[in-house]
Amino acid sequence: MTLSEKERYRLEAIRKKIGFIEAIIDHFGSITQALHEEAMGRAAIFMHLVAIAEQLDKLSQEGAYALLMQLPKEVTKGAYGLRNFVAHDYEGVNLVLVEDVLRLHLPLLRSNIDALLA
């Protein structure tokens, strides 16, 4: 699949945000510890998850449907929903759900993006 310059930019932005999340988790020693440290860990992770969802939404708005079909559906469909919870009900976000996203879906998204950018 040949990517447009804009698609490549958006995928690289997502990969960068995933890298930031991974660095935060490494800094705190685990996903659980990072999420329980509210001021630095959780806030930063949430910010990067929102940014990832925004990039995926922009790909959709720009008509990059063939590209989005190459990414895991459970990630692309759930990303914007998670973004809405973080943006509109920060205190009510289920941290167990976020931990599952970080543990299961983010690595899957990263591997798919790495393959598309290769």
Look up the pTM and report it: 0.91
CB 34 within 8 A of CB 42: yes
**pLDDT recorded at residue 109:** 93
State the average pLDDT over residues 16-40. Answer: 96
Q: How far apart are CA 85 and CA 94, in angstroms?
A: 9
Q: Does 27 or 64 have the greater pLDDT score?
A: 27
Give the C-alpha separation, 4 to 40, whole Å.
35
Long-range residue pairs from 104-108, CB within 8 A, at least 24 positions apart, any chain: 105/72, 105/74, 105/75, 105/78, 106/18, 106/21, 106/75, 108/72, 108/75
Residue with tokens 């970080």: 102
Express each pLDDT in 67-107 by its tens digit: 888 888 888 878 888 888 888 877 888 899 999 999 999 99
